[in-house]
Chain A
Amino acid sequence: MDITRRSFVKATAVALASAAAAGTMSGMVGCSSAGSGGAASGETTKTVGVCRFCGCGCGVIVEAKGGKIVSVTGDPDNQSNKGLNCVKGYYLASVLYGADRLTTPLIRDDKSTKGTDGGLREATWDEALDLVAGKMRETWKADKSRLAFWGSGQQPIVEGYCTAKFWKAGLLSNNIDPNARLCMASAVVGFMNVFQTDEPAGCYADIDETDTFVTWGANMAEAHPMLYSRVMARMTNGKGVKHYDLTTLWTRTSANATKVLVFKPGSDLAIANAIANYLVTNDLYDHAFVADHLQFKQGTENIGNATEDTYDASEIGSKVDAVTGITFEEYAARLAPYTLEYAEELSGVPAADIKELADEFADKSRRMLSLWTMGVNQHNRGTWMNHCIYNIHLLMGRYARPGDGAFSLTGQPTACGTAREVGTFSHRLPADLLVAQEAHRRYTEAIWNLPNGYLDAIKKPGFHTIKIFRELSKGNIDFLWSAHNNWAVSLPNLTRFLGRGDKKGVMDAFICVSEVYPTLSTQYADVVLPAAMWVEREGQFGNAERRTAVFEKAAIDPPGEAKWDLWMLMEIAHRVLDGEQIGGEDAFDVLFGEWYDKQARDFKGDQREISRSVWEEYRTFSNPSLNPDAEAINKEAKLKMENKQLAPYDLYIENHGLTWPVREVDGQWLPTKWRFCDGKQEDGFDEYGVEMYGKHDLAGGVSFYKSAGAKPSVVFRPWEPPAELPDAEYPFVFCTGRLLEHWHTGSMSRRVAELDRALPEALLDMNPDDCASLGVSDGDMVRLTSRFGTCDIKVSTAGRTRPPAGLVFAPFFAEETLINLVVQDTYCPLSKEPDYKKTCVRIEKI
Chain B
Amino acid sequence: MVISSLVVETLPERTDAVARALEHVEGVEVHEAQGCKLVVTVEADSSRASHAVASSFIGIEGVTNVNLVYVNFEDETLGADGGAADATMDAAAAGAAGVPGAADEATG
Contacts and interface: CB of A to CB of B under 8 A. Distances in A.
Interface of A: 1, 6, 9-10, 12-14, 16-18, 20-22, 25, 63, 65, 68-74, 83-87, 89-91, 93-94, 96-100, 115-117, 229, 232-233, 235-237, 256, 494-495, 498-503, 518, 520, 523, 746, 750-758, 760, 789-792, 814-818, 821
A17 B98 contact: no
Interface string B57-86: 000000011111111111100110011111
Contacts of B94: 814-816
26 contacts: A1-B75, A13-B4, A13-B70, A14-B41, A16-B69, A16-B70, A17-B7, A18-B32, A18-B34, A20-B67, A73-B70, A85-B69, A87-B51, A90-B71, A94-B47, A96-B78, A97-B78, A117-B92, A236-B36, A494-B102, A518-B95, A520-B102, A752-B87, A753-B86, A753-B90, A756-B90
B80 to A, nearest CB: 8
A838 B93 CA distance: 31
A299 B90 CA distance: 51
B98 A495 contact: no
Contacts of A96: 78
Interface string B26-53: 0000011010111111010001101110
A495 B105 contact: yes
A14 B43 CA distance: 12
Interface residues of B, number: 63
Q: Do most interface residues of chain B lie in helix, strand or loop, or is the interface mixed?
A: mixed
A17 B65 contact: no
Given A74-B68, A256-B64, A99 B41 contact: no
A431 to B, nearest CB: 35
Nearest to A65: B74
Contacts of B38: 21
Contacts of A523: 99
A752 B84 contact: yes
A236 B12 contact: yes
A84 B69 contact: yes
Contacts of A503: 106
Contacts of A256: 64
B99 A71 contact: no
Given A20-B67, A89-B68, A816-B101, 14 more contacts: A21-B34, A25-B69, A69-B73, A70-B73, A90-B47, A96-B78, A97-B79, A116-B103, A500-B105, A500-B106, A520-B98, A751-B84, A757-B87, A815-B94
Nearest to A5: B74
Nearest to B10: A236
A25 B67 CA distance: 14
Contact of A10 (B41, B54, B55, B102): B41
B9 A233 contact: yes
A757 B91 CA distance: 11
Give the residue among A518, A754, A791 with the most B Cβ atoms within 10 A. Answer: A754
Contact of A86 (B31, B67, B85): B67
Nearest to A814: B94
Contacts of B12: 236
Given A117-B99, A233-B9, A500-B105, A98 B69 contact: no
B68 A817 contact: no
Contacts of B101: 791-792, 816, 818
Contact of A99 (B5, B83, B98, B108): B83
Contact of B106 (A25, A69, A86, A501): A501
A760 B79 CA distance: 19
Given A91-B47, A97-B84, A236-B12, A71 B69 contact: no
Contacts of A753: 48, 83-87, 90
B68 A68 contact: no
B98 to A, nearest CB: 4
Interface in B1-34: 1, 3-7, 9, 11-12, 31-32, 34
A168 B47 CA distance: 44
A473 to B, nearest CB: 12
B72 A71 contact: yes
A229 B8 CA distance: 11
